[in-house]
Structure 1
Amino acid sequence: MALRIHFTGEDLARTRIASECDAMWEVMLSLYRLRRRERTVVFTRWKQDILAKAPATTRMLTTLAPAHGYTVDFLTPRTEEGTMAAGLEALRRTARERLRTDLSELSLRHPGMQLPGWLDSLARGDQEAVGAVALASEAYFRACLLPYWPRIQAQVAQERARRTRVLSDDGWEAVFSTLHPSARWSFPTLELSYPADHDIHLNGRGLVLQPSFFCRQTPITLCDPELPPVLVYPIEHDPGWAYGEALDRRPALTRLLGLTRTQVLETIAHGDCTTGELARRLGIPGSTASRQATALREAGLVHSQRLGQAVIHTVTDLGTGLLEGRRPGLIA
């Protein structure tokens, strides 16, 4: 299954990299991270810190954005600024037809999910119900994201600067082909792995590439291809972001595995990556990255899977437990 985005020459001229992280997308995607069990240490500290802080009204958002599958498009309206204030204003202005369409799609795609009665009012465009969703989004953002927002913004800004350099040096082909290990660019189509087959014909509208802090595994887009086209894609992370400082290098673990192998394990734990990405992130030869990843895989600390011409490395539960200092017998 794949996401296919179809360009024209006019679309390439109108394609751009978003200037800021988008607060509404980060709200929605962070809800995914909060509820999914994933083999990464990048979000562990953040999840531990905010689980008890999430407001009760967050349940409204998790109804509209289930942990897996379809999420209503109107939760992530497109704004030029990408700020929370602009996003909330756009959410409050959501057209009644959009609300009805998205909520019908939610019911259709999650047939086994019990939907609360307040969704009926929302589907009718009741402004009190729409306002309640906006207030729930704002409360969640203030409690769970705002304390970390400067760090989140800084890392997204670094990714944007890196992508802008790639665009300047090598053009859109280099940008598209390195967005994700599954990305395949052959004009006029950008193809990426996706949970379902999905086609977007830009038809002269151009595309916004939106780097996202809480996006993980695969890029994501809106379900309705008629909405303003956006492709949200994951960035690389500083592992110490939730601490406000770099993580220590775990001297004991370094003595056990060696410095390079420890760095390779930590890098894979920060986000799934190919051997080539691993080499670039650490500044080591590809042969060294491959050899160290193989050793970690043989020790059960890393899982490797071929995807097309690339090999994707993912940390295992054992590897995560080792990094977090848990005894193997206690690894969930």
Structure 2
Amino acid sequence: MLRIHFSDTDLLNTRVATAPDLHWELVLSMRHLRRRVVPPRYAAWHRDVVARLPPPGRARSAEAYREVALDPYWEAVRSSVDGDRALRIRALLDGGVNGLLRSYAPTMRWLPPTLHVRSAVERDRELGGRGLLLQPSHFCHGAGHLPEDPDAPPVLVHPAAQPQTGPVADKALARLMGATRAGILIAAGTACTSGELARRVGVSAPTVSHHLAALRDAGLLRTVPHGTTALHVRTRTGSALVHSSCE
């Protein structure tokens, strides 16, 4: 168990990463590649990458590995991290930093002023007023990771949250309004930018804009300004429609 101890200043300086970390995705994906058995969500990736990687000793560099194992899947990695970030932003808006830190259960347990994190090591860490950067990772599975060097920036790498809406709900909504609009409405359960929605649904930005307008006109989604961009989130009616498709 990793125990991270927060001061009041640390809580003020805690934030969520805005994008995937290439280094960690590289390191953690390589760990999965070395395993005989991988978690189901990585099974297809593992099979494809093993088939495409050159034999050991033949151009087995980090760059060659990245070209085969990460670059073709980077949109999926970004989508995974975007989804987690949207979830954490909603938790922060609803419950402040306490709500944010509580949202990481069961991987982490927030017992103020200490965050208990599943880890292969037993240690305590003081943040020294620098706060904590919470870094969601597509290839992180099970336990969190924090650099052991106390002088290194405090970055906690953790598994990105997985979508809770199942394929049954997806299909039911798709029959009602089409696959793209259903995907956008499901993804907008937490506030997202147009770019985040495009990556999560797998369509172009103009396509997203077209469907966002239709969903707004139907009263299923609303758009609110956020700095220099805008966030899109389901209305109560939109959420009721998504939830009813799960029943």
TM bracket, shorter-chain basis = 0.5 to 0.7
The structural deviation recorded for 1:174 is 2.1
Contact (CA 8 Å) 1:210, 1:232: kept in 2 or not?
Answer: yes
Equivalent position of 2:28 in the other structure: 29
Identity of aligned residues (%): 38
Equivalent position of 1:149 in the other structure: 74
Contact (CA 8 Å) 1:58, 1:137: kept in 2 or not?
Answer: no
CA distance in 2, matches of 1:220, 1:187: 20
Contact (CA 8 Å) 1:222, 1:230: kept in 2 or not?
Answer: yes
The structural deviation recorded for 1:168 is 1.1
Say if 1:60 and 1:221 are closer, same or farther in 2 by CA, change over 3 A: farther
Equivalent position of 2:140 in the other structure: 215
Contact (CA 8 Å) 1:27, 1:141: kept in 2 or not?
Answer: yes
Contact (CA 8 Å) 2:108, 2:116: kept in 1 or not?
Answer: yes
CA distance in 2, matches of 1:194, 1:59: 35
Paired residue total: 171
Contact (CA 8 Å) 1:180, 1:219: kept in 2 or not?
Answer: no
Contact (CA 8 Å) 1:179, 1:233: kept in 2 or not?
Answer: no
Equivalent position of 2:125 in the other structure: 200
5+ unaligned residues in a row in structure 2: which ranges? 171-241
Contact (CA 8 Å) 1:7, 1:201: kept in 2 or not?
Answer: yes
Equivalent position of 1:54 in the other structure: 53
The structural deviation recorded for 1:43 is 0.7
Say if 1:201 and 1:57 are closer, same or farther in 2 by CA, change over 3 A: farther
Q: How does 1:275-294 map to 2 (within 5 A)?
A: none
Say if 1:179 and 1:5 are closer, same or farther in 2 by CA, change over 3 A: same
Report whether the alignment pairs 1:174 with 2:120: no
AA of the residue aligned to 2:161: E
Report whether the alignment pairs 1:224 with 2:155: no
Say if 1:283 and 1:41 are closer, same or farther in 2 by CA, change over 3 A: farther
Contact (CA 8 Å) 1:20, 1:157: kept in 2 or not?
Answer: yes
Q: Deviations over 1:164-218 (max 9, x none)?
A: 1111111222222231415222222111222121221101111100000000011
Backbone CA RMSD of aligned residues: 3.0
Contact (CA 8 Å) 2:145, 2:156: kept in 1 or not?
Answer: yes
The structural deviation recorded for 1:35 is 1.8
AA of the residue aligned to 2:110: W
Equivalent position of 1:158 in the other structure: 83
Say if 1:191 and 1:21 are closer, same or farther in 2 by CA, change over 3 A: same
Equivalent position of 1:292 in the other structure: none
Say if 1:58 and 1:183 are closer, same or farther in 2 by CA, change over 3 A: farther
CA distance in 2, matches of 1:172, 1:58: 48
Radius of gyration: which is bigger?
1
Equivalent position of 1:187 in the other structure: 112
Contact (CA 8 Å) 2:144, 2:159: kept in 1 or not?
Answer: yes
Contact (CA 8 Å) 2:107, 2:142: kept in 1 or not?
Answer: no
Q: Deviations over 1:284-329 (max 9, x none)?
A: 9xxx9xxxxxxxxxxxxxxxxxxxxxxxxxxxxxxxxxxxxxxxxx
5+ unaligned residues in a row in structure 1: which ranges? 62-135, 240-245, 250-281, 289-332
The structural deviation recorded for 1:18 is 0.3
The structural deviation recorded for 1:238 is 6.2
AA of the residue aligned to 2:12: A
TM-score w.r.t. structure 2 length? 0.61
Say if 1:225 and 1:54 are closer, same or farther in 2 by CA, change over 3 A: farther
CA distance in 1, matches of 2:38, 2:90: 31
